[in-house]
Structure formats: structure tokens, C-alpha cells
């Protein structure tokens, strides 16, 4: 196996880890019908996967950031080339199998969106270990590590706990945004956990039909030592934030409907950027809500515009206690 490609990642205040990156392809079709050939119009290609999306947006927001990710095959090379084009420093771990592709079709007739997500490559034990080694090297001088996205096939469900242990060893603050087994097998070491209601529901295995139940579930994750703070994204309803000092409710920004692809990653990126600027959590979450809203103004998986984020940030109301 060839050695990993290692453009400089030293000195970044924020380091992201993407264990299951993707080549995101977005196109438009007049109408989507079963069994028929769907003629598409144009295509947009972006480097994707949670941590890469976070890195791209954090870079646009002016942060010092680098990305760590495995990538293989022709699709993996395209992902790496697109990260270069985005101006983000990175550490690529070359893997034997090809990086997955994700396909989004916007239907012009109805305005609906169809998203097709492939499972991703199977990483060998050696490749998994190289990812952890790459993260340890890149994060040695970082203030924050953002581990975001799904785990690819074959990677053990406790992998993010290993990431948390490395962050604890380095004295780096871990921000985690994942789902499924990767979330259920975290037991400690997370500085900030970002979860949707669905992900929170999966984690605690309860229905969480009401806001008080959602707040209680987030507070329980803090009490059991999993995380120091929890941000629950509510989409068009805003967000809930739980800390050891209590819980707050954040309102969303009213926006015209648009593509919600990447809104959660934008929220995580902007929260992390805010914290890296020394802002308190409530101000950082307001910045995250603004970035998520700004993603509704961009096509497909394109990153948001910094001027839009700054402008929308001024409109986000102060939170209320819950």
C-alpha cells in the first residue's frame, strides 16, 4: 500500500475526522418516475461526508481548519482534488476500496428532493489504525476535533470512543455528530454532542415525543458522563441546548424552503468556529443556526456564503430557558 498523502495539517485550531467520505453528485430532473430512464440536467460534484463538509464551511467562515479522511479509488481521488479546490488543508489516508458516491436528484416538477446514499468502502484493520494515527498527528496542536458522519462497513461501533480517548490524551475538545452504533457506543469524553431528535431517540431508545422529554434525555447524557453539553437540532423549529447549568430553547430563522442538504454540518461548523473564537456556547449556537439557514440558499451540496451567515446571525433571537 502506498503511504498516505499528507498535505500540511499542522497548526490548525480545528481538525475534522470523516470516516466515510463521499463524492456528492447533485443533479435536476423534470420528473422522477419508477422504471423509466430519468433524463437529468447538469451535475454538481462536491467533496462530502460530515467532517469534510464541516471543514469546508469552517474554512469559508475564516477558521484555521484541516480535514482527516480515508479515500480510495478514482472517486476518492476526486474527493481529495475537490478538497484542494476548496482550500482546505487535509491528511488523506489512502485505502484499497473506492470511496462511496452519494446522489441527489432535485425534481423540478414538484420541488421534491431524492437522496441516494451508498454504504461506503470496507476499511481494513490497518487502514482503521492509520486513520487514528493520522488524527493523532493532526490534532496534536488543535483546540477542537470534530468527528462527524457515519462509520463505514467493518469499522467497529466503538470507533468514536477511541477517537474520544485520543482527544482526552491530547487535551483536545471533541465535538461529535454521528448516529446509529457510532453514537450508541460512546460512553465518555465528548465535549459537545450534536444530535437530531431522531439520533437522540436512537441513542436513548425512547420515543421523545415532547420537548420536555427531549430536554430530559439530553440532560441524562450529561449526567451519565457521555458529554459536557448536548445540542439537539430541530430543523425548522430551531434547537435545544443542554449543559450542566441548565437547558435553553433557540428559535429558528424563518426561511423560504430550499435544499436542506448540509444544514446540520453547517450548524456544527459554525458552532465550532464560534467556540474557537472564544464565544460562549449560546452565541456559538446562534451562529450555527444562522449557518444552517444560509445553507438553504445554496444549490445542492455547495457551501454557504459567509456574508449570508453573518447577516442572518444578526437576526437570531436570544435563547429562552426551558
Contact 241, 247 (CB under 8 A): yes
Look-up: residue for cell 423549529? 237
Catalytic residue among 265, 282, 308, 310: 265
pLDDT in tens, 278-318: 999 999 999 999 999 999 888 767 889 999 999 999 999 99
Grid cell listed for 221: 447524557
1 inside domain: no
pLDDT in tens, 191-228: 999 999 999 999 999 999 999 999 999 999 999 999 99
d(CA 317, CA 42): 38
The contacts of residue 66 (CB under 8 Å, 6+ apart) are: 8, 9, 12, 14, 15, 16, 55, 88, 89, 90, 91, 138
Task: Check residue 225 and give its pLDDT.
Answer: 96
256 inside domain: yes
d(CA 295, CA 51): 16
Catalytic residue list contains 265 = yes
Q: What is the DSSP letter of 171?
A: T
Number of domain units in the chain: 1
Grid cell listed for 238: 430551531
215 inside domain: yes
Distances from the Cα of 216 to the Cα of 188, 208, 221, 236, 247, angstroms: 18, 9, 9, 21, 9
In terms of Cα–Cα distance, which of 311, 166, 197, 210 is closest to 253? 311
Q: How many helices (DSSP H) and strands (DSSP E) are in the chain?
A: 10, 14
Task: Check residue 257 and give its pLDDT.
Answer: 62
Are β-strands 190-196 and 173-177 bridged in parallel, bridged antiparallel, or unpaired?
parallel
Alpha helices in the chain (DSSP H): 50-60, 73-85, 125-138, 159-170, 180-184, 197-204, 211-223, 263-276, 281-295, 306-313
d(CA 313, CA 286): 7
> How many CB atoms are located within 10 Å of the residue 212 CB?
11
316 inside domain: yes
Strand order, beta sheet including 227-233: 89-94, 65-71, 14-17, 144-148, 173-177, 190-196, 227-233, 239-243, 246-250, 320-321
**CATH code at position 27:** 3.40.1190.20
Contact 88, 13 (CB under 8 A): no
148 inside domain: yes
Are β-strands 22-29 and 144-148 bridged in parallel, bridged antiparallel, or unpaired?
unpaired
> How many CB atoms are located within 10 Å of the residue 82 CB?
18
4 inside domain: no
Task: Check residue 6 and give its pLDDT.
Answer: 42
Note the maximum CA span of the chain. 56
d(CA 306, CA 36): 40
Whole-prediction pTM value?
0.93
Task: Check residue 1 and give its pLDDT.
Answer: 33
- Domain region containing 101: 14-31+40-321
6 inside domain: no
The contacts of residue 276 (CB under 8 Å, 6+ apart) are: 13, 14, 63, 64, 143, 144
Q: What is the DSSP letter of 179?
A: -
Task: Check residue 229 and give its pLDDT.
Answer: 98
Digits of tens for pLDDT over the chain (322 positions)?
333 344 555 568 999 999 999 999 999 999 999 998 999 999 999 999 999 999 999 999 999 999 999 999 999 999 999 999 999 999 999 999 999 999 999 999 998 989 999 999 999 999 999 999 999 999 999 999 999 999 999 999 999 999 999 999 999 999 999 998 899 999 999 999 999 999 999 999 999 999 999 999 999 999 999 999 999 999 889 999 999 999 999 999 988 766 667 899 999 999 999 999 999 999 999 999 999 999 988 876 788 999 999 999 999 999 999 9
Amino acid at each position: 500500500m502506498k503511504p498516505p498523502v499528507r498535505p500540511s495539517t499542522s497548526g490548525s485550531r480545528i481538525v475534522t475526522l470523516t470516516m466515510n467520505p463521499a463524492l456528492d453528485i447533485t443533479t435536476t430532473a423534470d420528473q422522477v418516475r419508477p422504471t423509466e430512464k430519468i433524463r437529468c440536467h447538469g451535475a454538481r460534484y462536491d467533496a462530502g461526508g460530515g467532517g469534510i463538509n464541516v471543514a469546508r464551511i469552517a474554512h469559508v467562515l475564516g477558521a484555521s481548519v484541516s480535514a482527516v479522511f480515508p479515500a480510495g479509488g478514482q472517486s476518492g481521488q476526486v474527493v481529495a482534488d475537490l478538497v484542494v479546490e476548496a482550500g482546505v488543508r487535509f491528511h488523506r489516508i489512502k485505502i484499497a476500496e473506492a470511496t462511496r458516491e452519494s446522489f441527489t436528484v432535485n425534481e423540478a416538477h414538484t420541488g421534491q428532493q431524492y437522496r441516494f446514499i451508498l454504504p461506503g468502502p470496507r476499511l481494513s484493520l490497518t487502514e482503521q489504525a492509520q486513520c487514528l494515527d493520522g488524527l493523532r498527528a493532526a490534532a496534536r496542536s488543535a483546540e477542537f476535533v470534530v468527528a462527524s458522519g457515519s462509520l463505514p462497513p467493518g469499522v467497529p461501533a466503538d470507533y468514536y470512543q477511541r477517537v474520544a480517548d485520543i482527544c482526552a490524551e491530547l487535551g483536545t475538545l471533541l465535538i461529535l455528530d454521528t448516529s446509529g452504533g457510532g453514537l450508541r457506543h460512546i460512553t465518555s469524553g465528548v465535549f459537545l454532542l450534536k444530535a437530531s431528535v431522531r439520533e437522540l431517540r436512537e441513542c436513548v431508545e425512547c420515543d421523545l415525543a415532547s420537548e420536555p422529554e427531549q430536554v430530559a434525555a439530553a440532560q441524562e447524557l450529561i449526567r451519565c458522563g457521555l458529554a459536557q453539553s448536548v445540542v439537539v437540532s430541530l430543523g425548522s423549529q430551531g434547537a435545544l441546548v443542554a449543559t450542566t447549568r441548565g437547558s435553553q430553547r433557540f428559535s429558528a430563522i424563518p426561511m423560504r424552503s430550499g435544499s436542506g442538504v448540509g444544514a446540520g454540518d453547517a450548524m456544527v461548523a459554525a458552532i465550532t468556529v464560534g467556540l474557537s473564537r472564544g464565544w460562549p456556547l449560546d452565541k456559538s449556537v446562534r451562529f450555527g443556526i444562522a449557518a444552517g439557514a444560509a445553507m438553504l440558499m445554496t444549490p445542492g451540496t455547495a457551501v454557504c456564503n459567509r456574508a449570508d451567515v453573518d447577516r442572518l446571525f444578526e437576526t437570531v433571537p436570544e435563547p429562552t430557558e426551558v
